[in-house]
Structure 1
């Protein structure tokens, strides 16, 4: 959760309590041992007071000021925000990504909110969103993508100063940092560095597995990883790996009723089965086309049918 506090209103309430008790700031300084600057800053809403400061003032004011602070607290569900991001990423929805980015900027810059938050984490989320926009924008140049990847690397260094792409396995990561690591893997795939990209994504899957039983990992995020692993291994002609990751992704999507990437996973499964000489490869390919029909992705359906005929002489119709 992002926690924010309207400190101006909280400070004004403390001033009201102090005056109700007939105390001036000098009285409070004498009774609490706090200096006047500290009290002035708190009452003007310029700082979030330390816990021990609130305890001292609670004793002077004979009022639970920590409990009062919670009345001026807003919480924003970070998991819901991740779900919105994952949905936009799944459908390459740049407009939605830009909307999320703009909302984050407005949230951070709104002077009325006095949002005292963990700005390093907030800036990470903003960097992640902005980098996704660059990644999915077809107009982005190779240079801008390279710069976006380097920006992600520098952002990850804020918590792990020695971080580098070559040493990514040496560090522990939170959920947001794992997402940034995935985007770095996607940038690596873009320049056909498939082996490094796969190594990063398989590392992420392993790191996330500990949270699976608690259902803390958003499904779409994992499906994005399976989607990209199947794509990368296809380009490395490792059809067994393609098949395995496609099946894992399909089972996850079916078990959670999330069909957003199933058309791609069934398609990759079918092509892998074709190369591995599995007799039921056509069943997988037709399921891919069927799902595209359900999703009204008619242009993509046409592209799949035409490219399959051209590249493999397979008629899916």
Structure 2
């Protein structure tokens, strides 16, 4: 269990100053050495049970209870940063990723739990890879970052042996990005195989599942495997609806409209219109307009 020692130390100092006590005066009343108090107030050491009990009597406050309130919930903090990163990835807000990267660095320094340290390292590798791929246009270095991210838990990982292993949800996310990078590096076969593997390795209630379906259906649209594309996109839509996870639902309906048009299904106009309505509701009016332009110019829809 980890604690925010720095913040607790500041609070401890505030309490002492509230009673207008110097560190030497605390020593006179409790026998706690001023150097010990300096380290506690500076957030340099974990306080001993006995020390907090003695100070509790002087400060007339339950410092053991107070200290427990400074416990760091690594799961909550990690998930908050991860969710913000996902939103920025989706919106291509690459220039602002440094804030989350700095937060992950701080979390890494303050965590003693090896499980979280591994996850933090993996998310850092993923974030740096996105910057290299989208901002610096260096897919080779981006691939290296992603490989290193997976080697945190799978030291023998390589692109050639990706299907030999079992992955966590975050590692599936790293794999999905690896597929995009490999496609950029003129390896379309690995791109398709990895996306199909990500789909097969995920459950329909996984947060990432609709995004995987969106990307895989796009692959099948490009290869004109329309029935496959329709099956996958419908799974993605069902996952969004069943789990009330509506992120990307607009793009799934956009893909569905394209597929329906190619299959001569009458409902394609309704799907495209729903995709545009959702885009505008999400605050993306430009995307709504781009969808309409693409339907007319690329797919030659009579809209």
What TM-score results when the alignment is normalised by the length of structure 1? 0.68
Deviations along 1:261-309, whole A, 9 cap, x unmatched? Answer: 1222112111111222222222212222222232332222222222221
Cα distance, 1:168 vs structure 2 = 0.8
1:13-32 aligned at under 5 Å gives the runs none
Three-state SS of the structure 1 residue aligned to 2:201 is helix
Q: Aligned to 1:240, which of 227, 235, 250?
A: 227
Where does structure 2 lack aligned partners over 5 or more consecutive residues? 10-30, 32-42, 47-66
Q: Do 2:220 and 2:228's aligned partners in 1 also have CA atoms closer than 8 Å? A: yes
Cα distance, 1:136 vs structure 2 = 3.6
- How many Å separate the matches in 1 of 2:281 and 2:4? 45
Q: Do 1:90 and 1:260's aligned partners in 2 also have CA atoms closer than 8 Å? A: no
- How many Å separate the matches in 1 of 2:255 and 2:200? 22
Tell me which residue corresponds to 2:122: 124
In 2 relative to 1, CA 73–257 (structure 1 residues): closer, same or farther, beyond 3 Å?
A: closer
Aligned pair 1:80/2:67, yes or no?
Answer: no
In 2 relative to 1, CA 275–160 (structure 1 residues): closer, same or farther, beyond 3 Å?
A: same
Q: Aligned to 1:203, which of 189, 197, 205?
A: 197
* Higher RCO (CA 8 Å, separation ≥ 6 residues): 1
In 2 relative to 1, CA 74–131 (structure 1 residues): closer, same or farther, beyond 3 Å?
A: same
Cα distance, 1:191 vs structure 2 = 4.1
What TM-score results when the alignment is normalised by the length of structure 2? 0.71
Where does structure 1 lack aligned partners over 5 or more consecutive residues? 11-21, 23-44, 49-68
Q: Do 1:186 and 1:228's aligned partners in 2 also have CA atoms closer than 8 Å? A: no
Deviations along 1:142-161, whole A, 9 cap, x unmatched? Answer: xx222111221133223222
In 2 relative to 1, CA 258–120 (structure 1 residues): closer, same or farther, beyond 3 Å?
A: closer
1:96-107 aligned at under 5 Å gives the runs 96-107=96-107
Cα distance, 1:172 vs structure 2 = 2.0
- How many Å separate the matches in 1 of 2:140 and 2:200? 27
Aligned pair 1:145/2:139, yes or no?
Answer: yes
1:147-186 aligned at under 5 Å gives the runs 147-186=141-180
Cα distance, 1:190 vs structure 2 = 3.4
More displaced stretch, 191-200 vs 226-235: 191-200
- How many Å separate the matches in 2 of 1:287 and 1:172? 37
Tell me which residue corresponds to 1:92: 92
Tell me which residue corresponds to 2:25: none
Cα distance, 1:177 vs structure 2 = 2.0
Three-state SS of the structure 1 residue aligned to 2:73 is strand
Q: Do 2:202 and 2:209's aligned partners in 1 also have CA atoms closer than 8 Å? A: no
In 2 relative to 1, CA 307–115 (structure 1 residues): closer, same or farther, beyond 3 Å?
A: closer
Tell me which residue corresponds to 1:286: 273
Deviations along 1:220-275, whole A, 9 cap, x unmatched? Answer: x2222112112222222211122112111122223344433122211211111122
Q: Do 2:260 and 2:267's aligned partners in 1 also have CA atoms closer than 8 Å? A: yes
Q: Aligned to 1:301, which of 272, 281, 288?
A: 288
Deviations along 1:149-196, whole A, 9 cap, x unmatched? Answer: 122113322322221111111112223222211211221233454442
